[in-house]
Amino acid sequence: MAVLENIRKRTTVLILIIGLALFAFVISGVFTSSNLGGEKVGSSVAEINGEEISIDEFRQEVEVASNRVGPTASSMQVVNQVWENKVRKTILGEQFEDLGIGIEQDQIVDFLRTTGYAQNPQFQDQNGQFDANLFKQTVADWKVNNPAQYDAWLQTEDEIVQLAKEQTYFNMVKAGVGATLKEGELDYKLANEKMDIKYVRVPYTSIADSTITVTKSEISDYVNKHKEEYKQDPARDLQYVYFQEKPSDADQAAIQAEVSKLLDDTIEYNSQTDRNDTIKGFRNTKDVAAFLDRYSDTKFDTIFKAKKNLPSSVADTLMNLSVGQIYGPYKDGDSFKISKMIARKPNGSVKASHILLAYTGATRANPEVTRTKEEAEAKAKELLKEAKKSGVVFSELARDNSDGPSAPNGGDLGYFQRGVMVPKFNDFAFNNNEGSIGLVETDFGFHVIKIDDKEDVVQVATVSREIVASEETINTLFTNATKFEMETTDDESAFSTLAKKAEYVVRPVNKIKALDENLPGLTNQRNIVQWAFNGDTEVGDVKRFNINNGYAVVQLTGTYAEGVMSAEDASVLVLPIIRKERKAEQIIAANKGKEMSAIASDNAVSVSNASALTVKSPTIPGAGSEPVVVGTAYGMAAGQTSGLIQGNTGVFKIEIVKKTEAPKLDNYSVYSNAIKTAAASRVNTAVYNALKDGSVIEDKRATFY
């Protein structure tokens, strides 16, 4: 904030930076005076620094965002995204208003030149350059003839204006960020002045945790002294039993039997002819496509496939079938299947490698290729001759000589079927034997081709039936879930007991937040979270929820109020800290006044050496990261011995063996500039986070979503 105050005081700088921006002007203003907002009505979803955010306005923005991202994001993800944007826009908007930051038309046009709009031929002049006037005319036409497109543009324009204002604002802050040559010199020294030390370390692990007694009141006192570090949001603890809708063993057996029956012919009574008809089974049917349409969950796939494209668990078996032969029933994933070999194309898939010699003017030739067509042909013939020599590794030739994108892979093109490659390449690959090497010319250049392998491709018809739970299984599941809910509703202690008796798995979920939607094991279950945070729900309450694949019987087991953590909640975090402090006190008291050798002897440790330590890399070999210890060493003179130092992993005593000063430089501007650049790169995030931390935000999203 001090930086901002300095900027505000620099009126001359402000005039130079934002003088012309005092009158905000956006492209849409040329065509309309309307905006995306409107009067705020209804309840507020938030209050940010005293400004209320209308729930109606917020919902409109959520709807627009949902239409933009589609089904790729959950409803709460969209809500949270809109929320973050709204908070950012409101907080930074206050700064823009205070500083009088506005955006001119030229700034929007310049921004558009960097977006997809500039690449649209509709907005380009005869030279292919973005034409702002054409764009304005088009926007005017959208307003009259394409309202949906116009509304989309208004959204984009709003985003552009916000981004441009942010850029101006953050650039103003960056203008106040700097570093002196002295700061650069210090940074250089911290990275390059080296220290060799002798040290002894008594690790904290030398004292057992069990010997350190920490009371609840001591944890509470520690938390109260460090309240900012132990704040908590409202949270809830749950436990649940998941009654998953899945097929039983009997369901699987029944579906397998149904699939098996499809193999052979069956007799069916035909009421229209008053006689029995023979219905051809999968084994004998002549119309495979019609059979699969009637009896299978999947249609007939007429595409010929290589082995790698068949189900991996049965690929070998299917490839070994003869035409007309059947395999199955077999289980593949969540289905039972029967497969029948319909047709086979021997050597229908070829694996080949090539060396491409392109030339100037060839299709898709790299601009860096300068050889002529004649030179490319001559080079290709040389490589062909070389490739046919005994012992020559084709992939190495391709790596060193090919102009094709497959060069890094040794020219490997993988497997491909007939018709994928250009005609001449295709003909060579399919009309020659495995191991053949030859030369062909295409529009891309000259290809030295090696046929690496050939394999059959097959056409397989597969009857597939998904393994699903039967109606009986689903009814039983509902009965069990309902019974468990009823038995545990009146006795909160019965949940775990009854679950254990029925051999149900109880899954705990700790500290869910009011706006969470994903629960471990259940994923998107926003309704459960809403129930847990409902004011009428009390600890011990139980409720059954319908979920996508069954039911979840959930019990609320704990609540956490907003504020500072209780001693119980903070104990897992605070205990290790207090234990370390107590251990450090004991070690220091027991070794005070002792020489390094005596400390080592009395504590069964050794005196060690560490060399070339720097403040910027404060890692001591054998001890780990110890910034306090290395920082202490930096302030000591050669030959000096320290007192006992409380480090990260233990208590240290060090002696400076040698200090090597960094060579002096004529100028430290490189280092001061590096500090300035690093600080400037943090401005956008750091300034916004500081403004956000200093804002008063009342979030009511959980009330509405």
Q: What is the pLDDT of residue 158?
A: 82
For residue 159, being part of any structural domain is answered with yes
Structure-token pair, residue 537:
């729900």
* Secondary structure (3-state) at 645: strand
- 515 shares its domain with 552: yes
Structure-token pair, residue 473:
């299984």
Structure-token pair, residue 185:
């010199």
The pLDDT tens digits for 498-527 are: 999 999 999 999 999 999 988 888 878 899
- 166 shares its domain with 207: no
For residue 93, being part of any structural domain is answered with yes
| φ, ψ (nearest 5 deg) of residue 47 | -135, 120
Res. 108: pLDDT tops 50: yes
- Residue 595 to residues 198, 297, 649, Cα–Cα distance (Å): 12, 82, 20
- 224 shares its domain with 264: no
Structure-token pair, residue 157:
């324009």
- 292 shares its domain with 395: yes
Q: 626-632: long-range contacts at Cβ-Cβ below 8 A with a sequence spacing of 24 or more?
A: 626/652, 629/199, 629/654, 630/195
What's the pLDDT band for 550 if we cut at 50, 70, 90?
very high
What's the pLDDT band for 277 if we cut at 50, 70, 90?
confident
Distant-in-sequence, close-in-space partners of 82: CB < 8 Å, separation ≥ 6 = 58, 61, 62, 65
d(CA 18, CA 104): 10
For residue 34, being part of any structural domain is answered with no
How close are the terminal C-alpha atoms of the chain, in Å?
Answer: 35
For residue 369, being part of any structural domain is answered with yes
What's the pLDDT band for 42 if we cut at 50, 70, 90?
low
| φ, ψ (nearest 5 deg) of residue 585 | -60, -45
**Beta strand pairing call for 550-560 and 542-547:** antiparallel
For residue 181, being part of any structural domain is answered with no
Res. 689: pLDDT tops 80: yes
d(CA 268, CA 276): 5
- Domain of 549, in residue numbers: 235-246+469-561
- Residue 89 to residues 40, 94, 166, Cα–Cα distance (Å): 16, 9, 9
pTM: 0.67
> Could you say which of 561, 592, 608 is where a domain stops?
561
Q: What is the pLDDT of residue 132?
A: 83
- 367 shares its domain with 420: yes
What's the pLDDT band for 492 if we cut at 50, 70, 90?
confident
- 390 shares its domain with 436: yes
Distant-in-sequence, close-in-space partners of 696: CB < 8 Å, separation ≥ 6 = 47, 48, 49, 50
- 168 shares its domain with 272: no
Q: What is the pLDDT of residue 268?
A: 80
Range in 18-32, 278-292, 569-583 with the lowest mean pLDDT: 18-32
Alpha carbons within 13 angstroms on the beta-carbon side of residue 295 total 25
For residue 446, being part of any structural domain is answered with yes
pLDDT, the chain, mean: 88
Q: Please tell me the total count of domains within the chain.
A: 4
What's the pLDDT band for 603 if we cut at 50, 70, 90?
very high
- 306 shares its domain with 385: yes
Res. 29: pLDDT tops 70: no
Share of the chain above pLDDT 70, in %: 94
Give the DSSP per-residue string, 204-269.
GGGS-GGG----HHHHHHHHHHTGGGGEE--EEEEEEEEEE----HHHHHHHHHHHHHTSS-EEEE
For residue 689, being part of any structural domain is answered with no
**In whole angstroms, how large is the CA radius of gyration of the chain?**
37
Contact assessment for residue 388 and residue 434, using Cβ atoms and an 8 Å cutoff: no
Helix axes 471-489, 494-501, angle to 10 degrees: 140
- Residue 349 to residues 100, 421, 454, 458, 679, Cα–Cα distance (Å): 68, 12, 6, 10, 58
d(CA 588, CA 585): 5
Sign, CA torsion 585/590/596/599: negative
Mean pLDDT computed over 597-608: 94
CA angle 201, 202, 208 (to 5 degrees): 150
CATH number at residue 476: 3.10.50
- 598 shares its domain with 509: no
Contact assessment for residue 241 and residue 562, using Cβ atoms and an 8 Å cutoff: no
CA angle 688, 690, 695 (to 5 degrees): 95
The pLDDT tens digits for 375-411 are: 999 999 999 999 999 999 999 999 999 999 999 999 9
The pLDDT tens digits for 174-214 are: 988 999 999 999 999 999 999 999 999 999 999 999 999 99
Distant-in-sequence, close-in-space partners of 49: CB < 8 Å, separation ≥ 6 = 90, 91, 94, 695, 696, 697
Structure-token pair, residue 480:
């069990």
Report which secondary-structure segment, H or E, holds 291: helix 288-295
Contact assessment for residue 468 and residue 251, using Cβ atoms and an 8 Å cutoff: yes
Share of the chain above pLDDT 90, in %: 67
- 289 shares its domain with 423: yes
Distant-in-sequence, close-in-space partners of 441: CB < 8 Å, separation ≥ 6 = 377, 424, 447
For residue 198, being part of any structural domain is answered with yes
The pLDDT tens digits for 625-671 are: 999 999 999 999 999 999 999 999 999 999 999 999 999 999 999 99
Q: What is the pLDDT of residue 162?
A: 87
Res. 301: pLDDT tops 80: yes
d(CA 384, CA 375): 14
Distant-in-sequence, close-in-space partners of 258: CB < 8 Å, separation ≥ 6 = 465
* Secondary structure (3-state) at 95: helix
CATH number at residue 93: 1.10.4030
> Could you say which of 514, 531, 561 is where a domain stops?
561
- 415 shares its domain with 481: no
> Could you say which of 468, 497, 524 is where a domain stops?
468
Q: What is the pLDDT of residue 12?
A: 36
Q: How many CB atoms lie within 10 A of CB 42?
A: 11
Structure-token pair, residue 388:
């046919």
- 144 shares its domain with 125: yes
| φ, ψ (nearest 5 deg) of residue 355 | -115, 115
d(CA 175, CA 455): 66
Distant-in-sequence, close-in-space partners of 209: CB < 8 Å, separation ≥ 6 = 579
CATH number at residue 361: 3.10.50.40
Q: What is the pLDDT of residue 43?
A: 86
The pLDDT tens digits for 322-339 are: 999 999 999 999 999 999
